[in-house]
Chains A and B, each alone.
Chain A
Amino acid sequence: MIAELLNNVNSDIIMGMAQAGGAIVLCAAVVLLCRRFAVHVERETAISVARGLVQMVFVGMVLAVLLHGNLLVGVLILLAMTFAAAVTAARRARDIKGSLLLSFYAIAAGAGVVIAAMLATGTLTADIAVLVPVGSMIIANAMNACAQAVERFRADVTAHVGQIEAGLALGADPGVTVAPFVQSAVYASLLPRLDMLKSLGLVWIPGVMAGMMVSGANPVYAGIYQFVIVAMILAASGIAGVIVTLLMRTRVFSAAAQLTFAKGREAKA
């Protein structure tokens, strides 16, 4: 295993570290520019840059070891990524009971369905070197969709406590009282992915297509394949957004149809 790692410390890595050094210098220049406008992001930038570099080097090392693993190893890596994504998304809803599990279910469902569909249709091969990077893209987008849906839903519920309780007081089902906020949360989670699909090729040429072209693939096929990936990302995000919102909807009410979220109002009694 160590020999395999050492084999990867070649001239490419030394060149990569030099390029990373250049990028860090540019980031430092931006931080200095920010200081001139009294925007102090020195500490946060230093932590982010250090974390980003260490994490990516670590992931590269792990993948270098696991690249020759089987499908089960790939699935385990994706599961671990899904859990990490759920932890990140759940931070947006710490005040909602069981938010980690809700986020995990939603991200796992969104990414799981899409990855399974891609494997079934041959869009994705079971080769760990392809499965993990593409799967991680889908999981990351499902995580963002999940976090955006959670954030929007809790903000809307918090801002409309009076309207929701007015509905409950008139005998409405809890689901009816938050229906507009479920819709806006799902829409909010999909909007960035819809914009991404719309601007595909016009505003940006994503990494998968660029990588395929660099490695000599037909540019038209590379473009179509990139579209498939982004469309699958949209699908995964939609599933994750819908599921997390619907699960959250049940958590903000009690069994007796009482709004149990945003209880700060009781302080004034």
Chain B
Amino acid sequence: MSTATVTAATGFIGDAKSSDATWRPSAGLEPEALALETTHLSRSVVGKVLVSDISVQVRPGEVLAVVGPSGAGKSSFLRLLNRLDEPTGGTVRLSGQDYRALAPRELRRRVGMVMQVAHLFPGTVAANVAFGPAQRAERLASAQVAALLERVGLPGYQLRDVSNLSGGEAQRVSLARTLANAPEVLLLDEPTSALDDVSARGIEDLVLSIIRERRMTCVIVTHNTAQARRIADCTMILQAGKLVAIGPTKEVLRDR
């Protein structure tokens, strides 16, 4: 087991050589003061280790980037945070509460996710945006739908059929659809990787402005270290499912 030290100034552990490295920017804070905390989080499938013993803490309003090579377990780690997959070890705490105590539907409303590909439902843009609240028998007013679409740069798109949208537009609708649930934590799984450079930069700027405006806690998976530098307060690096480094983005990505 690791005995990695925490520096008083930054809480930065630095390169985590062993699997139980912990990012403790909040040393001294009560668990409920953290937006998200993973403890020894692991997932293995038929003998293959996807995520190995990861313990990290994310403060409210903080943006954590998860970077690493392809196959490092970035998306697998993210999918454990809203329990789309079941951990085979460890757990996640949301505002101090073990997420296994929450109903999965309630957890996923509070921890929203934007995927790599938009995966919109057949129908109109408005129906997609209103989908989340409708699952709780809440009706999103048309003015609210319009406001969300305007915020993601798609004013007047309510009645458009999703089959006629470009990749960038679809991803904006996906973001609006997730925001309609008013999540406390936003998970982003390489949201720009399937887009052309112009659309990707547009989505990145949009995401950054929204999370800053709403002071949202955010975990973003990206293979693009430049993107991590632009967006994230802290960055963790995964390799073969293991946490190998974590800390302030500038320090972690200094030589990368």
The interface stretch among A78-86, A100-108, A144-152, A253-261 is: A253-261
The 8 A-B pairs with the shortest beta carbon distances in the complex, nearest first, are A166-B119, A162-B119, A171-B109, A257-B104, A169-B113, A170-B132, A171-B105, A269-B76
Given the interface pairs A169-B112, A263-B45, the reply to whether A258 lies near B83 with Cβ below 8 Å is yes
What is the 8 Å Cβ interface bit string for chain A, positions 179-215, against chain B (1 contact, 0 not)? 0100000000000000000000000000000000000
Asked if A176 CB lies within 8 Å of chain B CBs, one says: yes
Cβ–Cβ contact A172 & B135, under 8 A: yes
Chain A residues within 8 Å of chain B by Cβ, number: 23
User: Distance in Å from the Cβ of A155 to the closest Cβ of chain B?
Assistant: 17
Q: Which residues of B, 81-123, contact A by the 8 Å Cβ criterion?
A: 82-86, 104-106, 108-109, 112-113, 115, 117-122
Residues of the A chain whose Cβ atoms lie less than 8 Å from the Cβ of B104: 168, 256-258
Residues of the B chain whose Cβ atoms lie less than 8 Å from the Cβ of A170: 108-109, 112, 131-132, 135, 177-178, 181
C-alpha gap A121/B112 in the complex (Å)? 56
Pairs across A and B, CB under 8 Å, 18 listed: A162-B115, A166-B121, A166-B174, A168-B84, A168-B108, A169-B115, A170-B109, A170-B132, A170-B177, A171-B109, A171-B132, A172-B131, A180-B122, A258-B104, A263-B45, A266-B76, A269-B50, A269-B73
User: Distance in Å from the Cβ of A154 to the closest Cβ of chain B?
Assistant: 19
Cβ–Cβ contact A169 & B108, under 8 A: yes
C-alpha gap A54/B225 in the complex (Å)? 68
Known: A171-B105, A269-B72. 5 other contacts (CB 8 A): A163-B121, A166-B120, A169-B108, A266-B85, A269-B71
Asked if B136 CB lies within 8 Å of chain A CBs, one says: yes
C-alpha gap A91/B23 in the complex (Å)? 49
Residues of the A chain whose Cβ atoms lie less than 8 Å from the Cβ of B241: 269
Cβ–Cβ contact B82 & A169, under 8 A: yes
What is the 8 Å Cβ interface bit string for chain A, positions 157-169, against chain B (1 contact, 0 not)? 0000011011111
User: Distance in Å from the Cβ of A267 to the closest Cβ of chain B?
Assistant: 8
User: Distance in Å from the Cβ of A177 to the closest Cβ of chain B?
Assistant: 9
Chain A interface residues toward B at CB < 8 A: 162-163, 165-173, 176, 180, 254, 256-259, 263, 266-269
Cβ–Cβ contact B117 & A266, under 8 A: no
User: Distance in Å from the Cβ of A269 to the closest Cβ of chain B?
Assistant: 5
Residues of the A chain whose Cβ atoms lie less than 8 Å from the Cβ of B72: 269
Asked if B55 CB lies within 8 Å of chain A CBs, one says: no
Q: Which residues of B, 126-141, contact A by the 8 Å Cβ criterion?
A: 131-132, 135-136
Chain B interface residues toward A at CB < 8 A: 45, 48, 50, 70-76, 82-86, 104-106, 108-109, 112-113, 115, 117-122, 131-132, 135-136, 174, 177-178, 181, 241
Given the interface pairs A172-B131, A263-B45, A269-B71, the reply to whether A165 lies near B86 with Cβ below 8 Å is no
User: Distance in Å from the Cβ of B188 to the closest Cβ of chain A?
Assistant: 12
User: Distance in Å from the Cβ of B182 to the closest Cβ of chain A?
Assistant: 11
Residues of the A chain whose Cβ atoms lie less than 8 Å from the Cβ of B70: 268
C-alpha gap A266/B88 in the complex (Å)? 14
User: Distance in Å from the Cβ of B229 to the closest Cβ of chain A?
Assistant: 24
User: Distance in Å from the Cβ of B133 to the closest Cβ of chain A?
Assistant: 9
User: Distance in Å from the Cβ of B241 to the closest Cβ of chain A?
Assistant: 8
Given the interface pairs A170-B108, A266-B50, A269-B72, the reply to whether A254 lies near B131 with Cβ below 8 Å is no
C-alpha gap A228/B109 in the complex (Å)? 51
User: Distance in Å from the Cβ of A257 to the closest Cβ of chain B?
Assistant: 4
Most buried by B among A165, A171, A180, A256: A171
Cβ–Cβ contact A171 & B121, under 8 A: no
C-alpha gap A267/B132 in the complex (Å)? 29
B86 CB contact (under 8 Å) in A162, A171, A258: A258
Residues of the B chain whose Cβ atoms lie less than 8 Å from the Cβ of A266: 45, 50, 76, 85
User: Distance in Å from the Cβ of B77 to the closest Cβ of chain A?
Assistant: 9
Cβ–Cβ contact B181 & A171, under 8 A: yes
Given the interface pairs A258-B84, A263-B45, the reply to whether A171 lies near B71 with Cβ below 8 Å is no
User: Distance in Å from the Cβ of A255 to the closest Cβ of chain B?
Assistant: 9
Residues of the B chain whose Cβ atoms lie less than 8 Å from the Cβ of A166: 115, 118-121, 174
C-alpha gap A191/B218 in the complex (Å)? 48
B108 CB contact (under 8 Å) in A163, A171, A254, A269: A171
Most buried by A among B50, B72, B106, B108: B108
C-alpha gap A165/B135 in the complex (Å)? 14
User: Distance in Å from the Cβ of B121 to the closest Cβ of chain A?
Assistant: 7
Cβ–Cβ contact B105 & A173, under 8 A: yes
User: Distance in Å from the Cβ of B23 to the closest Cβ of chain A?
Assistant: 21
C-alpha gap A39/B231 in the complex (Å)? 59
Residues of the B chain whose Cβ atoms lie less than 8 Å from the Cβ of A168: 84, 104, 108
